[in-house]
Amino acid sequence: MLISARLGPLTFASLKREFAMPAPTNRFKIALKEKRPQMGCWIGLASPYAAEISATAGFDWLLVDGEHAPNDLRSILEQVRVIEASDSIPLARLPIGETWLIKQYLDAGIQSLLVPMVETKDQAEELVRAVRYPPIGSRGVGSSLARASMFAAIDDYLTTADDQICLIVQVENRAGMAALDGILETEVDGVFIGPADLAADMGHIGQAGHPEVKAAVLDAIKRTVAAGKAAGILTTDPEMQRQCLDLGATFVATDIDVTRFASAIRTSAQKALSLLPDQTASGRMTSANSSKYLQQLCKHWSHKAEVEFNETHGRINFSDGKSVEMSATQDYLSIVATTRARGDLEHWKQIIEQHLLRFAFREDCTPIWDQSSS
Ligand SMILES: O=C(O)C(=O)C[C@H](O)[C@@H](O)CO
């Protein structure tokens, strides 16, 4: 316990009495103002436990997503709390930029907000007002019961809070891009360009990497930086990450916890199951046209599978582990159907059979499968 000759035990109460406490310093906002690039990650697992794991990774910032993740203010606050305990800085994305919601997020102590779907200068100006206290802004005064003021322990909160709020608006459709110059004239702290939604609105849904989309995104980043505002993006494309940073973007998210976890756990399961033996079934189709049907099936699947064949042998390998190997004589076609350990062998046999019978529609030559299959 530290003891001061004048103050006695240096407790929170004694310090509070002695020193007026301002709102917490927003390191993220300072870094953006000083144009120091900050690397981030999207957090959509909607779990404080998962957020705590991500907070050990070392990202400069973590965006807790309230738009596309199953979050509400309570769950976001729990995740913000665990991130605050790390070296990463928490940001939160609202589901929509409405004043009442912004008030709750700010009173919960979230100092860096990302607001989606901003399309006009007027909308941006209203959001700026929503994160500022009167008389210049419209943020309701409730700090006496708010976590943001440490429940009134920060007695200078009301007069120091505005400067520590970082408001970032998302421009992510054609209307917002058309209004970007006006939005940049407002007091927003930064503009985040949303490639996924912009691609959709530009008619390239699901194609955030489309050349037209990339060109529009890079142009918006360039214009935002030129206007003296912080520019940011979320992109998992390493080339795009580098291009945005080279243009002066200062908050770049490079990954998403959900997709990272989903990909890793699926790969892990496939590796585990690959230790098990494949399933195979052998069959025979009696026909004098076996070579013709073998070659037809190989040609049919050559555009979507790895295929090797000649007049007497053929092998077709699909990326999901399904394969079929065939040998043709003058009298019959031998068939070996294979799937991975948990594949649907019966369904795979049916698919092979349906294709062969479609080729052999003039004959009655249904394949006969061996009863034992491994
Ligand atoms: O439009 C975008 O891109 C974003 O706003 C980010 C997405 O919402 C995020 O969910 C990743 O697709």
Atom of ligand 1 nearest to the CA of 65: 10
pLDDT digits (tens, 9 = 90+) for 259-271: 999 999 999 999 9
Cα(67) to ligand 1 centroid in Å equals 9
| 257 Cβ inside 6 Å of ligand 1 | no
| 119 Cβ inside 6 Å of ligand 1 | no
pLDDT average, residue stretch 22-38: 96
Instruction: Band the pLDDT of 371: cuts 50, 70, 90.
Output: confident
What CA–CA distance (Å, rounded) separates 206 from 188?
A: 29
Cα(172) to ligand 1 centroid in Å equals 9
Instruction: Band the pLDDT of 305: cuts 50, 70, 90.
Output: very high
Architecture of domain 278-369: 2-Layer Sandwich (3.30)
| 68 Cβ inside 6 Å of ligand 1 | yes
| 172 Cβ inside 6 Å of ligand 1 | yes
Mutational test site, ligand 1, from 71, 197, 201, max ligand atoms within 8 Å of CB:
197
**Fold agreement between 11-264 and 278-369:** no
Reported ipTM: the value is: 0.91
pLDDT digits (tens, 9 = 90+) for 68-107: 999 999 999 999 999 999 999 999 999 999 999 999 999 9
Cα(203) to ligand 1 centroid in Å equals 16
Coil, helix or strand at residue 346 = helix
Question: How many Cα atoms sit within 13 Å of 203 on the Cβ side?
Answer: 1
The pLDDT value recorded for residue 112 is 98
Can you point out the beta strands (E) in the chain?
A: 3-4, 8-9, 38-43, 61-65, 89-93, 112-115, 166-171, 190-193, 230-234, 251-256, 279-286, 306-309, 313-317, 323-328, 332-339, 368-369
What are the extents of the domains in the chain? 11-264, 278-369
The pLDDT value recorded for residue 178 is 98
Q: Indicate if the pLDDT at residue 12 is higher than 80.
A: no
Residue partners of 341: CB distance under 8 A and separation at least 6: 273, 274, 276, 277, 278, 279
Cα(307) to ligand 1 centroid in Å equals 38
Question: Using CA positions, which residue lies closest to atom 6 of ligand 1?
Answer: 194
Question: Using CA positions, which residue lies closest to atom 5 of ligand 1?
Answer: 194
pTM: 0.85
Kindly report which listed range (50-59, 72-81, 122-131, 146-155) carries the lowest average pLDDT score: 146-155
Residue partners of 355: CB distance under 8 A and separation at least 6: 297, 300
Question: Using CA positions, which residue lies closest to atom 2 of ligand 1?
Answer: 194
Question: Using CA positions, which residue lies closest to atom 1 of ligand 1?
Answer: 194
Cβ proximity of 115 and 127 under 8 Å = yes
State yes or no: is 68 an active-site residue: yes
Cα(62) to ligand 1 centroid in Å equals 14
Instruction: Band the pLDDT of 338: cuts 50, 70, 90.
Output: very high
Coil, helix or strand at residue 316 = strand
Instruction: Band the pLDDT of 6: cuts 50, 70, 90.
Output: low
pLDDT digits (tens, 9 = 90+) for 136-146: 999 999 988 99
pLDDT average, residue stretch 322-328: 98
The one-letter amino acid code at 36 reads R
Of 105, 94, 95, 30, the closest CA to residue 60 belongs to 30
Architecture of domain 11-264: Alpha-Beta Barrel (3.20)
| 197 Cβ inside 6 Å of ligand 1 | yes
Q: Choose, from 68, 300, 313, 355, the residue flagged as catalytic.
A: 68
pLDDT digits (tens, 9 = 90+) for 193-209: 999 999 999 999 999 99
